[in-house]
Structure 1
Amino acid sequence: MSLYNFGKTLCTVILKPMYRFEISGLEHFPKEGPVILCSNHITNLDPPVVGICAPRQVHFMAKEELFKVPVLGEILLKIGTFPVKRGLSDREALRKGLKVLKDGEVLGLFPEGTRSRTGKLGKGLAGAGFFAARSDASVIPCAIIGPYQKFKPLKVVFGEPIDMTSLRDRKASAEETTLVIMDHIRQLLEKNS
């Protein structure tokens, strides 16, 4: 068993008894090929929750500070998570993200860049649009609908792949592409809340 699968099993054992997971839309998730998985961000538990619910291994981009925490940093690297310097154009992180997609894997992003203080969907950063524009990956929106309260339902909804054809054909900006992605996440949140 890989370290990722071990971690997924461990998180499932810990989190599933606490929260009543309601997972929907798995039929929209491509079984193979590159995928950009974009979700809203409400708590620190979002990455393991999305990782548990997604049918394939997800390579998350995470804030650089987490990799400076002893032991945790090493574990994150070993399960395919990689650091990004927030607030900067981090070329190394962009290269790593594109490599994940080139290898036909799943890149997990929280386009808001940080947790929402209010629980409402915030503004998306250009990174998600950059990866969507620079690859031929399927872009899957995801909505986490809480609240995270013990023994209460916690919904994780995967949406249909976003049609990126016209945006890619006319070489839309990363910012515009991110706006489209965020709009799809917003629609999932509104439809399933």
Structure 2
Amino acid sequence: MWYKSFWVFFRIFFTVFYRWEVRGQEHIPERGGTVVCCNHISNLDPPLLGSAMRRPIRFMAKEELFRIPVFSSLIRKFGAFPVQRGSADKRALKKALSILKQGEVLGVFPEGTRSKTGKLGEAHTGASFIALKGEAEVVPAAIVGPYRLFRKVTIIFGPPLDLSEYRGKKWTSQTLKDVTDRIMGEINTLLGESRELS
């Protein structure tokens, strides 16, 4: 009930204040564990991404946010869970894999932090590891801002990546880097396509 209420509220919010446009929803699998990987330009990205999808989505969020009274309770109701940034947080990893095993959707921002310029930054390999370990579909997504009142914000979802060549094999750090580069390359392509169509 809480998630649905947030979902409706933010759809109205982004429609009224940011004239949002959503493209490529048909690329999101209707069922099964799925990792949606997106660029990160604003604190509004998680609710924008969540409200643009028909399926509920869960997010990793920096643990500092869960120390803020009231806000902590709200983001938990929206499906977020804490992660310690800058470390191998086994608890958060276990939670992420559990979400995928249950056939849910996990939202990840591979850059790990917001881009101040709007351009893609260097990505971490965590999203790739989670997707491969969780045997999940990977859907790239791109948000084209900036977020300015009554100016259009666009979010576009791309087709799931074909990672079959990596399934069932032993992964190395280079493997994870290669998969991460593919994910970020697809996000960059979506950013370019979205700007061309604007």
Same fold (TM over 0.5): yes
Distance in 1, matches of 2:17 and 2:76, equals 27
- How far did 1:180 drift? 1.4
Partner of residue 158, structure 2: 159
Distance in 1, matches of 2:15 and 2:118, equals 22
Q: Which letter does structure 1 place at the counterpart of 2:152?
A: P
- How far did 1:169 drift? 4.6
> 1:103-147 CA deviation, whole Å, 9 max, x = no partner?
000000011000001100111111111112102211000000112
**Kept in 2: contact 1:36–1:137 (CA 8 A):** yes
Query: Is 1:181 aligned with 2:183?
Result: yes
**Kept in 2: contact 1:133–1:177 (CA 8 A):** no
Alignment RMSD: 1.2
> 1:81-112 CA deviation, whole Å, 9 max, x = no partner?
10110111100000000000000000000110
Q: Which letter does structure 1 place at the counterpart of 2:43?
A: N
**Equivalent residue of 2:107, what SS?**
strand
Distance in 2, matches of 1:180 and 1:133, equals 13
Q: Which letter does structure 2 place at the counterpart of 1:76?
A: I
Return the TM-score normalized by structure 1: 0.95
Distance in 2, matches of 1:32 and 1:117, equals 34
Partner of residue 116, structure 2: 117
Partner of residue 9, structure 2: 10
Which range moved further: 59-68 or 175-184?
175-184
**Equivalent residue of 2:17, what SS?**
coil
**Kept in 1: contact 2:123–2:184 (CA 8 A):** yes
**Kept in 2: contact 1:40–1:144 (CA 8 A):** yes
Q: Which letter does structure 2 place at the counterpart of 1:190?
A: G
User: Percent same amino acid among aligned pairs?
Assistant: 45
Distance in 1, matches of 2:146 and 2:71, equals 26
Equivalenced residue count is 192
> 1:36-74 CA deviation, whole Å, 9 max, x = no partner?
000000011000100110121000111111100001112
**Kept in 2: contact 1:26–1:158 (CA 8 A):** yes
**Kept in 2: contact 1:22–1:153 (CA 8 A):** yes
**Equivalent residue of 1:37, what SS?**
strand
**Kept in 1: contact 2:11–2:52 (CA 8 A):** no
TM alignment of 1:60-71, pairs within 5 A: 60-71=59-70
Distance in 2, matches of 1:155 and 1:13, equals 15
Distance in 2, matches of 1:70 and 1:34, equals 31
Partner of residue 36, structure 2: 37
Partner of residue 145, structure 1: 144
Partner of residue 86, structure 2: 87
**Equivalent residue of 1:67, what SS?**
helix
Distance in 1, matches of 2:89 and 2:179, equals 19
Distance in 2, matches of 1:177 and 1:171, equals 13
Return the TM-score normalized by structure 2: 0.93
**Equivalent residue of 1:33, what SS?**
coil
Partner of residue 49, structure 2: 50
